[in-house]
Amino acid sequence: MIDTHCHLTDKAYKNDLLEVLERSREANVSPLIIAVDSLDEANNAIKLSKEHEDISCMSGLHPHHASLWTDEYEERLKKHIDDFNVVAVGEIGLDYHYDRSPRDIQRNVFERQLQIADDHDMPVVVHTREAINDTWDIVKNIKPKKLVVHCCTEKFGDIKMFLDEGYLLSFTGMITFPNAKDIRDTVEKTPIDRIMLETDSPYLSPALYRGKRNEPSYTVEIAKCVADVKNMSPKEIDEITTRNAVSFFEI
């Protein structure tokens, strides 16, 4: 089983990261892909991925921090893309919920990073919140070869165009929340060969661990929930979503 999106360089893990990794391997959640919000975080993620054979990472600038983008930043991203351990550009996209960077800057920086990813044949990990239409407008102009909408919380009708284009969706522990009926409906209607699992840890712990810090080993709970919704066995969900992630990230 693969946790395709965990923020392992977050300070939440600074005291016990090795134990977190150990629990993850014991739960058969390995390899892991570290998600980052900035290139400084990506530097730490690359370092960590060089220390552990079963860890890869992404590099990119989160929409929250889009205002940081400069030409120099762009050069740094291109250098990261050339690194063997960097397997995707992300997380990039639009966040109109928090609006931490002006929306026009978010759109420009998202478009620029999408273009860079496409030029380098890199898969893209997209973060989109309350911005699905603008996200799609930018994606459909560039049409990168491989793209996943991470932490998908959209209703099926609102996200269907991404599936029609051949893209993937990844789901977090949010699908286990009692009030997440709409997200489970999206899981139900999304073909299983387009689904990946992710914790987005340290946030969004599955219902069973609500209130606790999230960690990659809890991916197992997300797989169980997908299995329930799809009426399949957790083993099948593990095998298929693992295959999807191996093929998507080429790990």
Instruction: Enumerate residues 118-137 that contact Zn ion by CB under 5 A.
Output: 127
Q: Under the criterion CB under 5 A, does residue 200 sit at the interface with Zn ion?
A: yes
* Total residues binding Zn ion (CB under 5 A): 4
Closest residue to bound Zn ion by CB: 127
Considering the complex, state which of residue 38 and residue 236 has its C-beta at the smaller distance from Zn ion: 38
**Token couple for 24:** 């993850």
Sorted by sequence, the CB contacts under 8 Å of residue 25 that are 6+ apart come out as 54
- Tell the smallest beta-carbon distance from residue 231 to Zn ion (Å): 29
Considering the complex, state which of residue 158 and residue 236 has its C-beta at the smaller distance from Zn ion: 158
Considering the complex, state which of residue 111 and residue 239 has its C-beta at the smaller distance from Zn ion: 111
* Continuous segment of H or E residues that includes residue 126: strand 124-129
- Tell the smallest beta-carbon distance from residue 103 to Zn ion (Å): 17
Burial 127-153 (b: 16+ CB within 10 A, else e): bbbebbebbbebbeeeebebbbbbbbb
- Tell the smallest beta-carbon distance from residue 128 to Zn ion (Å): 8
Indicate the pairing of strand 168-171 with strand 195-197. Answer: parallel
**Token couple for 109:** 């920086």
Instruction: Enumerate residues 131-190 that contact Zn ion by CB under 5 A.
Output: none
- Tell the smallest beta-carbon distance from residue 247 to Zn ion (Å): 21
Considering the complex, state which of residue 91 and residue 238 has its C-beta at the smaller distance from Zn ion: 91
- Tell the smallest beta-carbon distance from residue 172 to Zn ion (Å): 9
Considering the complex, state which of residue 127 and residue 184 has its C-beta at the smaller distance from Zn ion: 127
Q: Is the peptide bond before 144 cis (omega within 30 degrees of 0)?
A: no
Own/partner long-range contacts of 94-99 (Cβ < 8 Å, ≥24 apart): 94/63, 94/127, 94/128, 94/129, 94/131, 94/134, 94/135, 94/138, 95/62, 95/63, 95/64, 95/127, 95/128, 95/129, 95/130, 95/131, 96/129, 96/130, 96/131, 96/134, 97/129, 97/130, 98/64, 98/129
Instruction: Enumerate residues 74-93 that contact Zn ion by CB under 5 A.
Output: 91
Considering the complex, state which of residue 127 and residue 146 has its C-beta at the smaller distance from Zn ion: 127
Computed from CA positions of residues 192, 204, 101, 92, in that sequence, does the dihedral angle turn out positive or negative?
negative
- Tell the smallest beta-carbon distance from residue 5 to Zn ion (Å): 6
Considering the complex, state which of residue 52 and residue 127 has its C-beta at the smaller distance from Zn ion: 127
- Tell the smallest beta-carbon distance from residue 233 to Zn ion (Å): 28
Among 1, 2, 21, 35, binds Zn ion (CB under 5 A): 35
Kindly list the residues in this chain that would bind Zn ion in the complex (CB under 5 A). 35, 91, 127, 200
